[in-house]
Structure 1
């Protein structure tokens, strides 16, 4: 027995490449992209043709949508009913299509994104303008091909009596291709088509005198004529679509922003929700209420404002941070000659004109053939009436219809068609009046034949017919333009002070990453005591600020976190703060090192000094820290894997830097020896380290500093005069400030400058701590190891030094 299996020895990659290639070709040609000629995707074309074929027209009653969906699936489109119904619903949505092609009774969805009712509930029929896409399809104007099961025929393209691709636009994604063609005004598109017919070489600028730009179904304001021109030239371009907003006076002398048109494809319910979130999160001060007052008379969103609110600033913020304004990117890709092609405006118009020439030529040939056939029959009928008695006698003498026809053909030279018409003639038509009607019909047919032959023999006449048809469509269906076009894209500038209520607050940050914004009233009610935080946590930053400032946090991985204070939650002094990871996601092993508050980035002349454990230092201008997007950690300094940031602080141009290492070396040098670098730079060498040594602390030394405070891991502390340490240069080793011991040598934990009212808390690994007031310590020399303040045998080694102001010590 011979096996019927056929085995191929082909590499898998070739098989996959071939199969995916076939699939891609199908998706591109037969599903996702519109045809340049009628502007329809296959499923849309099949829906419209099926409704037309079944007589579901605009002058007939509505029919159940389910019936149409069933016909489309059964006859032309063997896919899921959901996909067909969704496509059918979209053709009926007047906020998606500029000129709807399907009229639907019942719930066909909404601009809020509500789903349509099931197809068993809704009813539909073709719209009047959709019939123009199908007009004369029965006159052999377009090519028909067998359907998927060879039981009937379907059109490859519709006759399309207007340029639907531009009028209704298209959007779709396929394998390797996407398309985004906006809708346009019917009258403008027809004017542009006529201009292109009259002047084959007209320029984009010429065309733009009649077709000014897109015209979206939801209206709105389009900004960016240059983007439109570029799109019409190349098929790609960018514009801005802005909602139409005006101001109205409302009760109590207040005002409200009234939105009456929104950008195309924007979900209104989501837009209203987003604007209300802006109000709830207090990202903008001045909005009291947001409500949707849309009804059957039109779209209307009301944003009520406070009396003293800055209307323009609030509106600009909403334009920039919500879908009240969106960018739109043209990507005019369509199927042309069965190939996806990026098309310019002239190319789309030319493709349509070529299609119309073919349609009108085919229609004229069909009408000419029919007219000639009828003229031939009329000629035979007139001849028969002129010899009526003989004809009647011949027919009466015949045995049957076939015999009668044969005798008429043989005796009077009638043709088969004429003989058929004569024998089928009804008796009542054998009157004197009928010959007159036949003579008139013959004259009309002669005139019609002459006209049709002129159309077929003259391209000028052919184009004239196309123009006449287009003008009729424009006169019948063109309405007013909905979108307004503005030449320039307006740059939105937001001054934070204009949109945020300026309130005094107190900002705090803890070592475990809890941040808090507190009102002065809450702080005063607690008298600055009983600060809410986890046990074992400690405060590392506290400062009075305002809601218009920005909190910058620096982490051990060299990142910084950007946190506008007006976006922080208002939390009571006694309550625990919000963990930074709940605001900006940071890694588990990423610790908060320090914080600073910036009032004005542009005018700030200071720098951030970064210092790593391996002695790398870097200066970056504070102005570079300003960003627009801050939902994730931002790179402050590029750090190698075996390194970590240990310090980030604000320095001026005249300050000095104090670095201290575990082995007891300190280095003092001018901060301007460190060149200013960008955020992603890795820095330069700050101190020359011995093997196994590392930097434990860094500090900024201002001109007013006279003393420094030192502590070792054995809980020994000392105070030294700053001038004990010689000023050196960046990249050197520095001076030793602790004496080496053979047994249990001291290791530095930190060296810090002593400013007015500074106190230090010394924390051991077991949690024991001692407060040290440096004012009560005598000065020590460079080779002293200081005085012990704690028994580390019991408490464990010293882990941390914390510097406080005396008034913060709670």
Structure 2
């Protein structure tokens, strides 16, 4: 301490104020008194000092010592000798923790969480009990809600009247409760989010189902506890003759925990309970045959069953709930989406507002109008679409961006013996069944007791009637009731209760008919007593009674399931929001990629000049051109033998004149690496293979299954020798032939089984032996009844039937496929075509020609070909692709791309 003087003795410093002096004196007295007792040592954290201290510090120290000596606090007397303030030492952290723990437990047990036995929170239980006690039952008229609320808050629940009324309103709403427990009369709110009318306007009474929760309450089946002022008693739990926790669900937020139990179908829940009564070791999967999933009062569709299984097995799961929608076709070709059911707890009015907002912000341009079609028959929302809109795509967008699809996180948290626990379905049913067994046993004991009391009285009646004359004589000769009772007890060996009943018996009970009734009632009671004793001694009989009574409740209150369960995957893929259509994808030599609808290109006759398709930079030209669906996988094979995977819809869409996006922005290509082949596919079958060909003539065959995976930096597709490049990749099936063409004008055809299947990281074998000054142009699958189309750099081409090419073993140079001349240039491209196909030819300058194959002459192998495309003097042909396969739609072309029929192509006159 800085100041070592004793201010009380006047040896320096200022004198303490009078009030502090009194406080110090009182503390010293307490400390002196406590010194005769065992004084507790200060807790860790207290500062212990030695030596002289200031008067103020001494005062604090004495007060602290007194409270340590007397932890419950010291009563400090004021100047007038009266009691003053209680001072108690406490660490702030510990005090806060203790106080908050008490508060949180109060919230958990007394407010926010339901009891596993009756599925009710205290406020729900009190509302139902208060209405039952006041006689607001289904066989009585409705009573004002304000009267019920007054009874609840005045007798059992001293909280806000609006809180109690809001709870009562929810118990009456058929869109909130699967089985409403209150029969409301008046405006109790709507699914649109409208609030209920004030309590002075509405009326309510207990619903018939609520009476099953209260049934047998008067037979000592449950414990009672004092109410808040101990003037009345209330039940700690209701008998709950059906599993209300599962049937109506529950949701609440406590301190540090929350519960969110979905509602279920009453009949299904009872069936599952009976199944567990029959076999306590039943599995969750077996229970789900009776109780397949939640059943929301608003209907809807639960997508996928994994979340349900997780919730039932662990007590936690995630459900995806969709609205029920149907697509209707209009007379003018326009479609409409009609929403008939919405997910549970979704505000319908806010949903409509969100739909309107999305339309105004152009996020759903396919929607032309939205109608509110709600009436007394349903809550329909009618969404009108524009003529060219695809209803399923629009619906998927609605699921993605609105509350037509919501998540429901299941947390099956309830109180078990006053302790919050997350419960599985089996545990929930187990505790409910245990509660019902207790209810039945306690009810049976009560009824047994009443039956034995009544039988005891009737046995006395029988004795009296058998000796009626003597009984009357004793009574008449007795001076007082007490004397008569004593004489009767002594004479016939009766109990006090029997004697009292005989003395109170009316004379009309002496008739012969009354005696028969007494004897008949006594025999009936003896049978009941025997039955009650059997029930109490046989647990199986108790379970049979529970089953029987549950089935009676099911028969009275069961309703059909409203929520549909779907096996479909719950998550919406981005692909679901993309309309499926055919696209032309171009990849230029410089590495620019784009996609645009195939209808952009018009059909022309042979020899046409074409139309400008791409504006390219100098020295750039289109190297790859193909057609594929937006939902196809795009496998990009690079010249370095790696493969990258994208979806077609992930490629940037651009206009006809746009150059596109640099592919390095989409794929992590290395320096000098370019795309040499592209495969479009929707799946990866194990019985189909990819055939690879390199510029030096190497080939390799690998199963498609090997490429059903992806990596950000690509996968190894083929190992290459130094200086070699991958030039072609094609799908190949068992028994097909492979044809390869070199720039020297030669072609070789051999069976695919000449190459055995290999893994991804292999080099392959020799497929074609090209001269040193030539290179392999490409490789195709030679299917029967097709032609080999070849075209030179200057636009001269022809098609030759595949049947004219002999089959060789792989590794040779092949045979001539066109007569080479300097005027026509070297061979530039090759493609396998059918007679009804259409091809697209692209030049280095970006000019494209689309022409039918049938317009190109079919010539022999040793011919020069005809002019297929007018090529400018400083231009040359670079790529050929199939635009359409035949007159009818087919599954896939050689590239695995989605194919088109002619009706899907917008034809434009030249």
- Class of the TM-score when normalised by the shorter of the 2 chains: 0.5 to 0.7
Residue 429 of structure 2 corresponds to residue 349 of structure 1 = yes
- CA deviation after TM superposition for structure 1 residue 499, in Å: 11
Residue 370 of structure 2 corresponds to residue 290 of structure 1 = yes
Residue 561 of structure 2 corresponds to residue 481 of structure 1 = yes
Alignment of 1:383-462 (within 5 A): 383-462=463-542
Q: Distance in 2 between matches of 1:426 and 1:283?
A: 88
Root-mean-square deviation (CA, aligned residues, Å) is: 2.8
In structure 1, runs of 5+ residues without a counterpart are 503-543, 545-598, 607-618, 626-649, 656-675, 679-810
Query: For residues 416 and 497 of structure 1, do their structure 2 counterparts lie closer, same or farther at Cα, with a shift above 3 Å needed?
Result: closer
Aligned partner (choices 343, 351, 355) of residue 275 of structure 1 = 355
Asked whether the equivalents of residues 604 and 623 of structure 1 are also in contact (C-alpha less than 8 Å), the reply is no
- CA deviation after TM superposition for structure 1 residue 414, in Å: 2.0
Q: Secondary structure at the match of 2:83?
A: coil
Q: Distance in 2 between matches of 1:193 and 1:73?
A: 35
Deviations 1:575-607 (A, max 9, x none): xxxxxxxxxxxxxxxxxxxxxxxx98833699x
Asked whether the equivalents of residues 93 and 108 of structure 1 are also in contact (C-alpha less than 8 Å), the reply is yes
Q: Distance in 2 between matches of 1:69 and 1:385?
A: 54
Aligned partner (choices 313, 319, 333) of residue 399 of structure 2 = 319
Residue in structure 1 matched with residue 250 of structure 2 by the alignment: 170
Deviations 1:237-278 (A, max 9, x none): 111111111123445443321111111000011111111222
Q: Distance in 2 between matches of 1:489 and 1:403?
A: 86
Over alpha carbons, which structure has the higher Rg? 2
Q: Distance in 2 between matches of 1:470 and 1:67?
A: 33
Asked whether the equivalents of residues 106 and 122 of structure 1 are also in contact (C-alpha less than 8 Å), the reply is yes
Asked whether the equivalents of residues 375 and 445 of structure 1 are also in contact (C-alpha less than 8 Å), the reply is yes
Residue 132 of structure 2 corresponds to residue 52 of structure 1 = yes
Query: For residues 71 and 13 of structure 1, do their structure 2 counterparts lie closer, same or farther at Cα, with a shift above 3 Å needed?
Result: same
Q: Distance in 2 between matches of 1:16 and 1:620?
A: 61
Alignment of 1:679-694 (within 5 A): none
Aligned partner (choices 331, 334, 345) of residue 265 of structure 1 = 345
Q: Secondary structure at the match of 1:383?
A: helix
Q: Distance in 2 between matches of 1:265 and 1:240?
A: 13
Q: Secondary structure at the match of 2:442?
A: helix
Residue 212 of structure 2 corresponds to residue 151 of structure 1 = no
- CA deviation after TM superposition for structure 1 residue 395, in Å: 2.8
Asked whether the equivalents of residues 235 and 331 of structure 1 are also in contact (C-alpha less than 8 Å), the reply is yes
- CA deviation after TM superposition for structure 1 residue 328, in Å: 1.1
Q: Distance in 2 between matches of 1:605 and 1:292?
A: 36
Q: Distance in 1 between matches of 2:227 and 2:572?
A: 54
Residue in structure 2 matched with residue 718 of structure 1 by the alignment: none
- CA deviation after TM superposition for structure 1 residue 421, in Å: 1.8
- CA deviation after TM superposition for structure 1 residue 336, in Å: 0.5
Q: Distance in 2 between matches of 1:395 and 1:309?
A: 100
Q: Distance in 1 between matches of 2:274 and 2:451?
A: 29
Alignment of 1:13-24 (within 5 A): 13-24=93-104
Residue in structure 2 matched with residue 465 of structure 1 by the alignment: 545
Residue in structure 1 matched with residue 319 of structure 2 by the alignment: 239
Q: Distance in 2 between matches of 1:9 and 1:206?
A: 59
Q: Distance in 2 between matches of 1:177 and 1:268?
A: 29
Query: For residues 114 and 621 of structure 1, do their structure 2 counterparts lie closer, same or farther at Cα, with a shift above 3 Å needed?
Result: farther
Deviations 1:389-434 (A, max 9, x none): 2223333344454444333223332211112222222232321111
Q: Distance in 2 between matches of 1:78 and 1:623?
A: 65
Alignment of 1:108-257 (within 5 A): 108-250=188-330, 252-257=332-337
Residue 682 of structure 2 corresponds to residue 602 of structure 1 = no
- CA deviation after TM superposition for structure 1 residue 114, in Å: 0.8
Aligned partner (choices 332, 339, 352) of residue 419 of structure 2 = 339
Q: Secondary structure at the match of 2:520?
A: helix
Asked whether the equivalents of residues 310 and 499 of structure 1 are also in contact (C-alpha less than 8 Å), the reply is no
Asked whether the equivalents of residues 578 and 649 of structure 2 are also in contact (C-alpha less than 8 Å), the reply is no
Alignment of 1:34-113 (within 5 A): 34-113=114-193
Q: Secondary structure at the match of 1:455?
A: helix
Q: Distance in 2 between matches of 1:5 and 1:65?
A: 47
Q: Distance in 2 between matches of 1:677 and 1:318?
A: 31
Asked whether the equivalents of residues 284 and 499 of structure 1 are also in contact (C-alpha less than 8 Å), the reply is no
Q: Distance in 2 between matches of 1:83 and 1:490?
A: 36
- CA deviation after TM superposition for structure 1 residue 624, in Å: 9.1
Query: For residues 84 and 652 of structure 1, do their structure 2 counterparts lie closer, same or farther at Cα, with a shift above 3 Å needed?
Result: farther
- CA deviation after TM superposition for structure 1 residue 286, in Å: 2.5
Residue in structure 2 matched with residue 363 of structure 1 by the alignment: 443
Q: Distance in 1 between matches of 2:474 and 2:373?
A: 82
Q: Distance in 2 between matches of 1:204 and 1:677?
A: 41
Residue in structure 1 matched with residue 90 of structure 2 by the alignment: 10
Query: For residues 410 and 278 of structure 1, do their structure 2 counterparts lie closer, same or farther at Cα, with a shift above 3 Å needed?
Result: same
Q: Distance in 2 between matches of 1:231 and 1:185?
A: 16
Q: Distance in 2 between matches of 1:157 and 1:215?
A: 25
- CA deviation after TM superposition for structure 1 residue 458, in Å: 1.0
Asked whether the equivalents of residues 605 and 621 of structure 1 are also in contact (C-alpha less than 8 Å), the reply is no
Q: Distance in 2 between matches of 1:485 and 1:601?
A: 31
Q: Distance in 2 between matches of 1:151 and 1:623?
A: 76
Q: Distance in 1 between matches of 2:447 and 2:457?
A: 15
Alignment of 1:296-307 (within 5 A): 296-307=376-387
Asked whether the equivalents of residues 317 and 494 of structure 1 are also in contact (C-alpha less than 8 Å), the reply is no
Query: For residues 605 and 319 of structure 1, do their structure 2 counterparts lie closer, same or farther at Cα, with a shift above 3 Å needed?
Result: closer
- CA deviation after TM superposition for structure 1 residue 438, in Å: 1.1
Q: Distance in 2 between matches of 1:71 and 1:183?
A: 29
Q: Distance in 2 between matches of 1:404 and 1:69?
A: 53
For normalisation by structure 1, the TM-score amounts to: 0.62
Query: For residues 4 and 123 of structure 1, do their structure 2 counterparts lie closer, same or farther at Cα, with a shift above 3 Å needed?
Result: same
Q: Distance in 1 between matches of 2:472 and 2:337?
A: 86
- CA deviation after TM superposition for structure 1 residue 307, in Å: 2.8
Q: Distance in 2 between matches of 1:477 and 1:261?
A: 22
- CA deviation after TM superposition for structure 1 residue 51, in Å: 0.8
- CA deviation after TM superposition for structure 1 residue 490, in Å: 4.4
Asked whether the equivalents of residues 34 and 41 of structure 1 are also in contact (C-alpha less than 8 Å), the reply is yes
Q: Distance in 2 between matches of 1:21 and 1:42?
A: 20
Q: Secondary structure at the match of 1:294?
A: strand
- CA deviation after TM superposition for structure 1 residue 293, in Å: 1.6
Query: For residues 207 and 622 of structure 1, do their structure 2 counterparts lie closer, same or farther at Cα, with a shift above 3 Å needed?
Result: same
